[in-house]
Amino acid sequence: MMPARRRDCQRAQCVALSKVNISCREISTIIGISKSSVQRALKRYEETGEFQDRPRAGRPKKLNERNIREIAIKLNDTLNSPVTSRTIINYLHQCGYEYKTKITKPFFNKNVKKNRLNWCLDYSNWTINQWKNIIFCDEICFYVIKRKNKIKIWRTKDERWKESCMHVAAAGGGGRVNFYGTITSEGTGCFRIYSENTNSDVYCDILDNYLIPIVQLYQMENNYFYQHDNSKYHLSKQTQMKFHELGVKVLKWPSKSLDLNPIESLWTVIDNKLKSKSLSSVKELIEALSKA
């Protein structure tokens, strides 16, 4: 690895030669470094006014400057001798505090909390084998451009307008499709990708053509329970008649309980796979979803 002082000297030479209108290609020949190294040196000087290496990033900051100022102001109001922001940061680190985004949770009223608790108590004595007999299902929208999970990057304040640091947005997410999927203890089940809005007719058609093959695939005919949430078309009379016709036993499910359904984690896995794809049409989205 090249010594730091030598790198600093080369960067200074790049800047000096550039100021007398020598091209990057000519500078690279004169100094004996690559053209890209010359360009990085000039960019570094333009942004920082320095030739030295930037400080190593290390661990990300746990608290931002605003948080520290607020803590310092409130704390110093109660102390005879004021403390610095650095002292506060060091002590918070020692106590195990981290600067993290708040976890989002749904609002639960008293009835929802009571129903969730009762559900947990009702099934608290189930064995692992009983849980293995459940087919978990869900429906979700996937978009051509808009992703389910937020895309985070590391950038400086000055880089916020760079194309590589921005996320492209389009009306309606650039087009979407609906996705029905299932998982069991034995693996994933059949899935359906479709463009129409989900209603009782569509859902009953899914049950006819996609649920029964899953049951047959994993030989669960006599023992399984089917899990879905409390969407209107799940609870409609038409759907209930279809369950009776097919002999499906439905698992009781509390409202606002996405966190209890393990298939929710699968959507995150699929969405992360879509992030690496450059999608521009619904057709490409369908192909990417099928492959994922």
CA dihedral sign, ordered 107, 112, 113, 118: negative
**24 and 126 belong to one structural domain:** no
Domain limits for position 266: 110-291
**36 and 160 belong to one structural domain:** no
126: CATH = 3.30.420.10
**19 and 147 belong to one structural domain:** no
**263 and 178 belong to one structural domain:** yes
* Tally: H helices and E strands in the chain: 13, 5
**287 and 166 belong to one structural domain:** yes
Q: How far apart are CA 291 and CA 286, in angstroms?
A: 9
**38 and 155 belong to one structural domain:** no
- Asked, for residue 227, whether it belongs to a domain, the answer is yes
Digit-by-digit pLDDT tens for the chain (292 residues) are: 445 567 777 888 888 888 878 888 888 888 888 888 888 888 888 877 776 766 655 555 555 667 777 777 777 777 777 777 777 777 777 777 666 666 667 788 899 999 999 999 999 999 999 999 999 999 999 988 766 655 566 667 777 677 666 655 544 557 889 999 999 998 888 899 999 999 999 999 999 999 988 888 888 888 899 999 999 999 999 999 999 999 999 999 999 898 899 998 888 888 888 887 778 888 999 999 998 8
**280 and 171 belong to one structural domain:** yes
- Asked, for residue 62, whether it belongs to a domain, the answer is no
- Asked, for residue 80, whether it belongs to a domain, the answer is no
Instruction: Using DSSP, state whether 73 is helix, strand or coil.
Output: helix
Q: How far apart are CA 184 and CA 266, in angstroms?
A: 12
**114 and 44 belong to one structural domain:** no
Domain total in the chain: 2
CB of 134 within 8 A of CB of 184? yes
- Asked, for residue 251, whether it belongs to a domain, the answer is yes
**38 and 183 belong to one structural domain:** no
Q: How far apart are CA 146 and CA 143, in angstroms?
A: 5
**Cα–Cα distances in Å, from 11 out to 20, 32, 54?**
15, 12, 13
- Asked, for residue 57, whether it belongs to a domain, the answer is no
- Asked, for residue 77, whether it belongs to a domain, the answer is no
> Could you tell me the pTM of the whole model?
0.58
Residue of 199, 161, 173, 136 whose CA lies nearest to 271: 173
CB of 56 within 8 A of CB of 28? no
β-strands 225-227, 134-143 pairing: parallel
**188 and 273 belong to one structural domain:** yes
- Asked, for residue 75, whether it belongs to a domain, the answer is no
**12 and 119 belong to one structural domain:** no
Tokens, residue 142: 């996937």
- Asked, for residue 90, whether it belongs to a domain, the answer is no
Q: Where are the alpha helices (DSSP H) in 137-199?
A: none
**121 and 211 belong to one structural domain:** yes
